[in-house]
Structure 1
Amino acid sequence: MLLRRAGRWSRYSVPVVDVALGIIFLAFALESLTFILRFGAYAVYVADSALCTALALTQFGRLRLLHASFIATYTLLAAYAVLVAVSPVNLGLNPIIATAITSLYTVTRWEPDRRWGMTALLLALAGALVNPVTFSSYSRPNQSGVNPTVGDDSIWALIMVRTLTSLVFVGAVVLTYLLASSRRRVAENQARDIGIAAAQAVASERLSLARELHDLVGHSLTTIKVQAATGLALGGEERLRSTLTAVRDTADASLTSVRQLVSVLRSDTGEITPLADLRTIPVLIETTRGSGTRINAMLPRPGVLERCNEGWSAIQRLTLVRLVGEALTNAVRHGSGQIELSLMLSPASCHLHVSNPVPEAVEHSPFGGSGLVGLEERLRLVGGTMTHGVQHDDEGSSFFTLDVDFPVVPLELPASATDPDQDSGEMTDETGSGDSR
């Protein structure tokens, strides 16, 4: 309720600047009352006081009622100029005419339609040339009503003073317009930059979401497809039961990952930790083996992966998990034999090597869709590099190889984490047997 009332109040409140200007110009308007107090309530003095007061009041709606305030201000200024022109006495120069400047600035700075600002500029320039100074001198009316004799030199001096004053007014109008236009351009450029940044953020978010969905679902669906094809090819009740069980488990794991992603997207923090668990790498390998694919995997021991889980940043862990998943997916989808995978960790870097035979039909396009693009985008985020391509051995067989390197948070790892040939057993050499596709 309080917030609703506050919002309603802010909608009808007057900006502080307008309040300050209104009070200042009301003080100027009170000066016109001195004519009435000194000389009496003559019509010309009453009209002068009324116009000055009305001009001061327009400043309170300068921003809230921009159009109405602008029209009222310039209409009253025109009436004020006419009053000064036809007045039988010299009304002098009241600072209230500065409302022309404040109104010009407001319309030029804040009105989206530039025609309003141009109209205000032209009217202000006209007023700068045809103003109370043009019609009268600076002296206040005196009670004697005696007009001194004015010589030619004095007349020319008076003309020069009035001309210079008009030029000062013109300069003030032009400078005000240029200042308001400059600030308007700055604000428009800032708004445009913010809009571009927002659009880029949305595009980046869409790209990130597309990449995550591709990596999450692509591997699982490819595995399910291979498992189903294997079950259909081999037949047999027991084999079909085993295949359907594997399909169910793979689909369940994929659904869990998608739910985690949705949970991350809905959360305020956007923490990606549940999706960036290095312990899922052996699970990915076993899931791929479950489809009948043979994999020779060289991985760090679980203790090393756990240490990296605790020390690496979330984006580094997620990058490695997605790299392994996408590499296995493409090897299953496009390859034709045993997959060789090795994950080498050093204190400050990570190296992933994946290779698999490919048939000649896909030799020139081993990666399909957006997989390779997604891998490159991920690696750019962590400052990594990737090389890939088809190589041939002495027997003429074709192999697709993928090598990835990226820096990680420096950690103290066992020597065996960097050298799989040592005997401490910190690296595991896992060879899974399965049906060749």
Structure 2
Amino acid sequence: MRPTLTAMVSERIESWLRRRPVAADAGFAVPLFALDLLLQPDRPLPLLFSGLLAGALLLRRTRPVWSAALVVVIAFVQWLVLPQLGLFVADLAVPLVVHATAAYGPRWAARSTLAAGLAGAGLGALTWPPVDDASAGSHALFAAAMAGFVLAGWALGSLHRIREERRSAEAQLAVSAERTRIAREMHDVVAHSLAVVISQADGGRYAGSTEAAHAALTTIGETGRRAMGETRRLLGLLREGPESLAPQPGLADVPTLVEQARVAGLDVVARLDPPPAPVGAGLGLVVYRIVQESLTNVLKHAGPTARASVEICWHTHELQLRIVDDGRGAIGAPAPGGHGIVGMRERVAAYGGAIRTGSGPGGGHEVYVRIPVSA
């Protein structure tokens, strides 16, 4: 699935900021100090406090509690030493660290920093506006404005925390749902394998063997039946409702899947090399599901006029699967809650493989899978 250009740019910016938190915080600290430097270039002591406040902001993401503690202490000392000068531009560090502790810090730190910020708004109002005839209303209005900045920082930080917690919960639910789905499918695969074992054991029992072999084969049959029953009971607990009893699809069903995509209007070319040896039902199901998910995403997000190719190549010790589209169809944002990539990663990881998704060589989207296989 491929997002819009705006979403791609936004995602890359967010990814860059997550990898370089200090550089992101410098985007706040440097402009605040630069403005103070422009407004009062000949006052070294105010600039010292401004520089200290800006420097403390560099820790607001990586060490939010330390950043908040430094800002609170520096701002309080500034109020004690330079009360007549009122506030600096760098004093905006206070609502910024309130935001940081609410978004990234522990909850006790968020509450403590909020309380300190509101107290600072009240203290600042005692010396600002810095005129003798300032009315009580002016001081109250200033205190309310400063408290508003602090509360806004806390509210935005709390909203960020809620969004991140929700995103994490959705991802965990998606993983759980995919594992449940895989467990249901593996139930059928394992049950089929056990049925074959039981059938072979029962056949050997009537092959005119010795009494000891007869007893051993009888034990194999009984053990297999018990194992199949336990498998059905344990994995059956993961089922949310009645499921179809039809056999699970496999590698032999991939051509049918490609043909269904063509009928739906997708121009798809397939190169499906036959396996050099029989493929297990589990691995065949993995290949089928990845092709199914990928072609579905092309139809949904690249439009029916897009072109796609499916390649399945077998090497001595490896299976390679590649699904690519040219990206010339109607691009749409991924549907909310779409977690198909989670399932693909889970399936591939179960077989010790690797999967790569992203931009293809022609500007479209590519899914590339490598899974080790026995020689």
TM-score (norm 2): 0.50
Which gives a bigger RCO, structure 1 or 2 (Cα 8 Å, sep 6+)? 2
TM-score (norm 1): 0.43
